[in-house]
Structure 1
Amino acid sequence: MRNRIQELDYLKCLFIILMVIFHLSYIGGKYPYVKSIVYTFHMPAFLLISGYLINVHKKPKVFLKAMAWIFIPYAIMEISYACMSTLFPVWDGIKEISASVLFSKVLLDPIGPYWYLHTFILCGTTHYFVHTYFRATPFIRLLVTGGLLLLFSYVFHLLTFANAFYFMAGTAIHLGKRSFLSCFPSSFLAIIPLIFLCSQPENLNRGTLGGILITGLVISFSLYIYKHLPHTVKQASLFIGKNTLPILLFSPVFTALSKLFLPFFSFDPTGICFLCTATATTLYGSILIAFCLDKAHLSPFFFGKKMLI
């Protein structure tokens, strides 16, 4: 097993928290420009890290088993989310439930935050089989993987190629035997071009050069902040960063329920009190569900592991 890189766990923590915050519809509606900025980099950065960390040196049986135990909880939660979207207002929800609709949402066009797992499985599996069975230089393998993902994106519409690009960029760093941290050195000065780029609305698109630069600059500036965090904050961020899967899977339960206690925060026009309460509830509520699955000995059936937390 690879040694964990603490800085990457910290970055994963940061980006999963931003995902939770801006899946709170009240906050997204109150701060739409900030939401546009965050949506430019938070999941692209997650995919970049995922591409860097994916292990293509496993035997096919082991790799496919690992992917299957990501697909199973993904499929369960995607189906649950799609069914719930017929009862609760969700911007990308479905109108009616049928086997064909649910099948389509799981395999072709997921809704909610679960698109990330769908993209990860598709990109990771494609990268693995090209790397394992195509005899060529790493650069040629990367081109072949990119060609296949372009095909999946523009012909079969299985994913967004801009998202696949970030995953491939992560794999390119790894195949080039470069350290992730050396590619994104921590820098306070990154804040200067970052502010400038974010002030121009045309840059707030992950598929543009501006969006790519914003993503890289956010990572560099975030790593600078990490160096100056108190020890207790670092430890908390590392714990959350190690447990992003259950947060991604279960967070929609809590972001939906958070609407129930929104009226109690009417005294705060900024929404910050609601944001802090709902985010903390979502993070630790999601982890609590995974902990309960561990204690009930259900994790082997849901995650393929005896213990997840």
Structure 2
Amino acid sequence: MKRIIEIDFIKGILIMLMVLFHFSFFVTEHEMLTGFVYAFHMSGFLIVSGYLLNVDKSLSKLLRKLLPIYAFFEIVYLVGIGLLSSVLSSSNHFELTFGNLLYSLILHPIGTYWYLHTMIIGSVSYWAINKIGGGKNANILIFLALLLWSIACFVEGFMWENAIYFLLGITLRRLEVPFNKFFKPSMLFIVPVIIIALSCKEVRRDTLSGFFVTIFVLSFLMAAYGKIPSKLRFYVSYIGRNSLSLVLFSPVYVIVAKLYCNKFSFICGEYICAILSLLMVVLLSLISVYIMDKIGLSKLLAGTKLYVPIHEM
């Protein structure tokens, strides 16, 4: 599939929103805005992930990039917050026992690693249905929806409201619907987004209003790509190409940001502190993945390098 450059830009915006709205010092002052952003930022990311997913490969190759790296980072994160909960200013709490570790790893991940957990279950499910579905789109999509719904009933950390968006991306790709045809680029889509934000008491990703907000925001971002300055567009797209680095490392660096911002945000103001913290988390996440590539850890965990250099953009 030909690379759609706007998708990198969209991923960059959405992943930065994910980081920004994990800063407790910022969220507590903007609870309504946080709830609204949560209605579309990861929903949009799941649509994109489903759309880009390629299951025309062996199961081992499909899992090679996801499973070891998920297991490694989730375990490190759980052990960290389990042992250092009194020191770390984390919103997540975890009692470190072998049983709890196994439960969280398999059934209910903690932190942003739920996204990788969802991707693993969704990808394996799609791969299996694709193999036995006989190539008919209707059969594959119906049985995949039923399978994902069934899994969501039993696996606590795999939520149906997330699976729906992932399934929508798969459906668009399966039916060969161009991304920019379904998400028609127009700056005017900000209007219904504002109307929904002002008129709905609560907008969540598991509601119809949240679904339409997600669609409208993606359409708006498709148009925004061509409207903003080229340098800004380039760097946001660069972050989007490296969004996995923020999924992997932002939980750690967000905690670091919380530690100093809770003490010093009164000096520079919460907005400046939030922007500086966002830039710090992005930069440190990119550097961390770059180091992983250099020392061979990326190759060991994912079978390939994870960092996309800026000159390859």
Q: TM-score, normalised by structure 2?
A: 0.92
Residues 159, 202 of structure 1: alpha-carbon distance in 2 compared, 3 angstrom cutoff: farther
2:217 counterpart of 1:218: yes
1:39 paired residue number: 38
Q: How many residues align?
A: 303
2:60 paired residue number: 64
Contact kept in structure 2, 1:71 and 1:121, CA below 8 Å:
yes
Structure 1 unaligned runs (5+)?
none
1:15 paired residue number: 14
User: C-alpha deviations, 1:185-208, integer Å up to 9, x for none?
Assistant: 111211111111112344511111
Structure 2: distance between partners of 1:192 and 1:242: 29
1:90 paired residue number: 90
1:76 counterpart letter in structure 2: F
Secondary structure in 2 matching 1:85: helix
User: C-alpha deviations, 1:160-200, integer Å up to 9, x for none?
Assistant: 10100000001111111110111011112111111111123
Structure 1 residue 112, shift from structure 2 partner? 0.7
Contact kept in structure 1, 2:114 and 2:157, CA below 8 Å:
no
1:255 paired residue number: 254
Q: TM-score, normalised by structure 1?
A: 0.93
Secondary structure in 2 matching 1:178: coil
Structure 2: distance between partners of 1:67 and 1:30: 40
Contact kept in structure 1, 2:126 and 2:144, CA below 8 Å:
yes
Q: Which runs of structure 2 are paired with 1:273-288 in the superposition (5 Å)?
A: 273-288=272-287
Q: Which runs of structure 2 are paired with 1:194-233 in the superposition (5 Å)?
A: 194-233=193-232
Q: Which runs of structure 2 are paired with 1:45-124 in the superposition (5 Å)?
A: 45-58=44-57, 60=58, 63-86=59-82, 87=85, 88-94=88-94, 96-124=95-123
Secondary structure in 1 matching 2:184: coil
2:26 paired residue number: 27
Structure 2: distance between partners of 1:181 and 1:293: 34
Kindly, what percent of the aligned residue pairs are identical? 29
2:130 counterpart of 1:140: no
RMSD over aligned Cα atoms? 1.6
Structure 1 residue 34, shift from structure 2 partner? 0.8
Contact kept in structure 2, 1:152 and 1:158, CA below 8 Å:
no
Structure 2 unaligned runs (5+)?
309-313
User: C-alpha deviations, 1:253-283, integer Å up to 9, x for none?
Assistant: 11111123213331344x1111111000000
User: C-alpha deviations, 1:31-77, integer Å up to 9, x for none?
Assistant: 1111001100000100001111101222x2xx432323212121111
Q: Work out which structure has the larger RCO, using CA pairs closer than 8 Å and 6 or more positions apart in sequence.
A: 2
Contact kept in structure 2, 1:203 and 1:209, CA below 8 Å:
no
- The structure 1 segments of at least 4 consecutive aligned residues displaced by more than 4 Å after TM superposition are none
Structure 2: distance between partners of 1:204 and 1:159: 21
